[in-house]
Every structure is written in structure tokens, then in C-alpha cells.
Amino acid sequence: MDYNVTLSVPASTLAAVPSILPVLLTKGLIVEVRVGFPDGCADLVHVVIVRGGHQVWPTNPSGSYAWNDYVYEIAASYVLDDQPLTMKVVAWNEDTANAHLVTVGFNLLPLEPTVLARFVQAVLGRPTRWG
């Protein structure tokens, strides 16, 4: 399951009062997160991903993603199996003249034992007890 969202972040959006886009997902294993910054963002737009009031990505609480003409592709192993099934894309913009778009994507695998077993076997190269 692949989810993609785009968030417009107005000029001069403060980190203290950020733009927030809730993303409703389904139960699953998040195996990849993508955060894309088009050309023109010039490291002025910052993004973090939050769930239930806690920052999940980047994992360092004081960090944020920011770049220009770049897509972060983050390998993940995050089980999403309880409420809320919502991730929040939180962004702010230090550019005082221009709004910017950022794109965030989540790639999930179903929480079916056979799917997890195939994934673990592919990653670890050995069978699992779920298989």
C-alpha cells in the first residue's frame, strides 16, 4: 500500500505554528517513508512526521528534513497496528517570500503473517516462524 500526500507550506510559516496535514493510513508495517522537496525549497522548508504527539521521523527530536530538489527515502520498520492510524506531516517555512510544496509518501505492507514472513526472509535471508 502506497500513500502519497502533498502539503503547501505558506511563506513565513513558523515552527511554533506549523502547517499540519493528517494522513490516515491503514494497519500495516511501514517499510519506507519518502519526503520530497522540489527545486526552489533551498533548505528553507522543514518537515517532521509525528504520531500521537511524538516525532517519529526523523528519529532525533531536534531534527527535521530540509533540502532542495531532493527526496529522502527512509527505510523503516514501524508497526502501525493501533489507534491512531494517523501520521501527521508537520512543516514550517523560513522563506519569507514564497510558499513551497512538499510531498510525503508511506509504503506499508499488510500485517498478514505470510506477508511479514516473506519480508523478513527477503531482508534477513532466512525463514521465520510465521511462514
pLDDT, tens only, 54-82: 999 999 999 999 999 999 999 999 999 99
For residue 125, pLDDT over 80 is answered with: no
**Mean pLDDT value across the chain:** 92
Q: List the chain domain ranges.
A: 2-124
pLDDT, tens only, 93-124: 999 999 999 999 999 998 876 666 676 677 77
Q: Is the Cβ–Cβ distance between 84 and 52 less than 8 Å?
A: yes
What is the pTM assigned to this prediction? 0.85
In this structure, what is the dihedral angle of CA atoms 33, 4, 70, 41, given to the nearest 10 degrees? -120
| Angle ∠(4,31,55) on CA atoms, nearest 5 | 75
The CATH class given to the 2-124 domain equals mainly beta
